[in-house]
Amino acid sequence: MTILLPEPAPLRDLIDAFKRLPGVGERTARRMAYHLLQNDVVGAQTLSRALDQATTTLVHCQRCNSFSETEICLTCSNPQRDPSLLCIVETPADQNMIEASHSYNGLYYVLMGRLAPLEGVGPKDLQFQRIANRAQESAVKEVILATNYTAEGETTAHHLAEFLRGQGIKLSRLARGVPAGSELEYVDASTIAWALMERKST
C-alpha cells in the first residue's frame, strides 16, 4: 500500500513500530494504530506502560532461562518440584503446555529459540555449554528433550543429545504417536508411520 497523503509523523512512527511485531504488515499495523487512537486511548497508554515495565524489569532466570522478575524464577525456586528431572523446551509457551498436562513435576530449561542455521542461530546462541553445566548438576538424573517436532526442533533435539551424551545423564525425548482422542482415519500418514514403528507390546 503506497502512502500518498501527508501523514502526521507520530501516526507514521506508531505504524512503523507495530510493523516490528511478528506477522504484522502495513495494513494490520494501520488497523491497530487507528483502533487504539480512535477507540481505545487508554489501551494505547496501558500498552505503552506495559512495554516499558516489561523491558526494564524482566530478566532471564539464571537457572531455567525463562523470563523472571527475580534472579531465580518462582518455578525454579519451588521446593515442591523434583530436581532430578530437567525438561528442555523451546519457549515459555511450550513450557506452559507441558504444565497443563498435569503430568510433570520436574524443572525446566527454556532455550528461548531453536537451532536455525539459515537464520544464523547456532549452538552458541542457544548457550549449549550453559545447558550442559545445568544438566551436570548432581541432582539431575534425567534430561527430557521436549523441543518441537518440526525440522528445526528435531535438529535441536538431535544436537542437544549429541552434546549431552557421554556425561552420564539419562536422555529422553517425548513419545511420538497418535494424538489422544483422535480417529485413525483423520491422523496424517507420517504420524501413523511413527506410531507403528514405536508400537508397544501390551
What is the spatial distance between Cα 122 and Cα 20, in angstroms, rounded to a whole number?
Answer: 23
Q: Does the footprint of its own copies cover residue 156 (CB under 8 A)?
A: no
Going 43 to 47 to 53 to 59, the CA torsion angle's sign is positive
Q: Does the footprint of its own copies cover residue 30 (CB under 8 A)?
A: yes
By rule CB under 8 A, what count of residues binds its own copies?
63
H or E element in which residue 173 lies: strand 170-173
The per-residue DSSP string of 44-105 comes to: HHHHHHHHHHHHHH-EE-TTT-SEESSSS-TTTT-TTSEEEEEEEESSHHHHHHHHHTT---
Q: Does the footprint of its own copies cover residue 118 (CB under 8 A)?
A: no
Q: Does the footprint of its own copies cover residue 21 (CB under 8 A)?
A: yes
Q: Which is nearer to its own copies, 1 or 118 (CB)?
A: 1
Q: Of the listed pieces 10-18, 140-148, 172-180, 187-195, which binds its own copies according to CB under 8 A?
A: 10-18
Binding site for its own copies (CB under 8 A): 1-6, 8-11, 13-14, 16-18, 20-23, 27-28, 30-38, 40-41, 43-55, 57-58, 67-69, 73-75, 91-93, 95-97, 99-100, 112-113
